[in-house]
Amino acid sequence: MNRKILLLSLITTVLILSACTTSESTFTPQVIEKVTLVDDVELTPEPTETEELIETNEPPQVIETEAEIVLSDAKEFQNPENYQWVEIVSGFSRPLGMTSFLNENLMIYVLEQDGIIRVLENNTLQEEPFLDISIKVSTRGSEQGLLGIALDPDFLTNGEFYLNYTDRNGDTVIARYFANPDRKTADVNNEQIILSVDQPYSNHNGGNLVFGPDGYLYVGLGDGGSGGDPELRAQDPETLLGKMLRIAVSNQEVYAIPEDNPFLDNDGRDELFSIGLRNPWRYSFDRLTNDLWIADVGQGNWEEINFTPVNSEIGLNYGWNYYEGSHAFKGDPPSDEKYVFPVYEYDHSMGCSVTGGYVYRGEILPEWYGVYIFGDFCNGKVWGILPAENGDWQVSELFATGLNISSFGEDVFGELYLISHNGTLYQLQAK
């Protein structure tokens, strides 16, 4: 799969899945130039003068390397009866998400809602937590808690990672922490708060954190809560709520603003990347194409999946609360505003709270390559989405797990996991 180099640093009930005024930054973030990416290039070093003088009668050494596996996107869905979600580890307390890291071993970090991060090493659950910040975290509301984690792109060397949690006041905190050298534990005493956002209600917090292919940190925030966005925050560019933020945090004391953020030098907060979201519960970038997929939890009728191609314009408006999915909800949308409507939506006869997932880019199930997988927290159904030949989309219900799906996960190899809020981590495998 493609890999790129950054040249410039940078959820019991319907739980988390269904989440305000904002606190202003206490500093003025600088504006930084747009990150430039280049493809990996394998360089053959020039021989040194000494190496050129070495003569040998030995024949050249032949090094056999495994051929790169080239996979093509699936054109149709596989028979799901030939596949299953295999239990990897159970015993978690209300898990909500995961991320992974490859050192000598595969490390999977699993978030527990109460503020603890557990670590699996080669699928073996370690006794000592990676981090415990439960003393700082509020879970008075069912959608509050430790909600998101993202490892810095340079985590191998700097050990930095970022958390999204609701504090004891119920407000959103984005904070930087530091892993210890073994990457099995982290320093609980070294917290650097990057951003705080006041939350007037206990629901619709969003909570995901993802580093994009551009090296910037994407922060998805819900509209602040209650029902129907009563203060109309999602469409208000002067608040961070109901938005996708994009900020530069790598190699920054706090954070900086990418120079091409769409509201920079216009009416609105500089941190904004897109607007009109209700409660984005899990979004991800396709690790091959860099396309963005956002699952936005609906109000009373419609759950939605939004697809944003990599080359889309920025400053997009996903429509809430003028629209719930593609359906008119409240008010009269401005005639000059363009809206992004979902590529798929389902009503509440099919589920009640969408959980976003990932495009499968692993190697053990090549026949699934390119399928976007997502689910529903309430009934545990899992669907897949694929492009159709006519340029539209094809959708199929794949599994009826009966689980409360609080999140999906993707490891460093692109393999796909499902997280049950009941306490178990599963992986998609062939029977």
Residue type, 30: Q
Indicate whether 417 belongs to any domain: yes
pLDDT at position 298 is 97
pLDDT at position 28 is 84
Confidence of residue 421 (pLDDT cuts 50, 70, 90): very high
Q: Which residue has the higher pLDDT, 71 or 358?
A: 358
pLDDT at position 256 is 98
Confidence of residue 377 (pLDDT cuts 50, 70, 90): very high
Mean pLDDT of 366-386: 98
Indicate whether 203 belongs to any domain: yes
Query: Does residue 278 carry a pLDDT above 70?
Result: yes
pLDDT at position 69 is 64
Indicate whether 376 belongs to any domain: yes
Model confidence pLDDT, tens digit, residues 147-188: 999 999 999 999 999 999 999 999 999 999 999 999 999 999
Nearest-angstrom CA–CA distance, 309 and 48: 45
Confidence of residue 20 (pLDDT cuts 50, 70, 90): very low
pLDDT at position 64 is 42
Domain that holds residue 72: 4-32+42-430
Total structural domains within the chain: 1
| Contact yes or no for 33/63 (Cβ under 8 A) | no
Model confidence pLDDT, tens digit, residues 188-221: 999 999 999 999 999 999 999 999 999 999 999 9
Nearest-angstrom CA–CA distance, 357 and 239: 27
Q: State the Cα angle at 72 between 69 and 74, rounded to 5°.
A: 130
Query: Does residue 1 carry a pLDDT above 70?
Result: no
Indicate whether 37 belongs to any domain: no
Query: Does residue 45 carry a pLDDT above 90?
Result: no
Residue type, 396: S
Nearest-angstrom CA–CA distance, 25 and 198: 11
Query: Does residue 48 carry a pLDDT above 90?
Result: no
Indicate whether 199 belongs to any domain: yes
Confidence of residue 26 (pLDDT cuts 50, 70, 90): low
Tokens standing for residue 399: 């599994």
**Rounded percentage of the chain residues whose pLDDT exceeds 90:** 82
CB atoms within 10 A of CB 6: 18
Indicate whether 372 belongs to any domain: yes
Query: Does residue 244 carry a pLDDT above 90?
Result: yes
Element (H, E) at 53: helix 49-53
| CATH (domain of 48) | 2.120.10.30
Query: Does residue 406 carry a pLDDT above 90?
Result: yes
pLDDT at position 267 is 84
71: burial class by Cβ within 10 Å (0-12, 13-18, 19+)? middle
Give me the chain's average pLDDT, please: 89
CB atoms within 10 A of CB 282: 31
Question: Which residues is 89 bridged to in the sheet?
Answer: 425
| Contact yes or no for 133/82 (Cβ under 8 A) | no
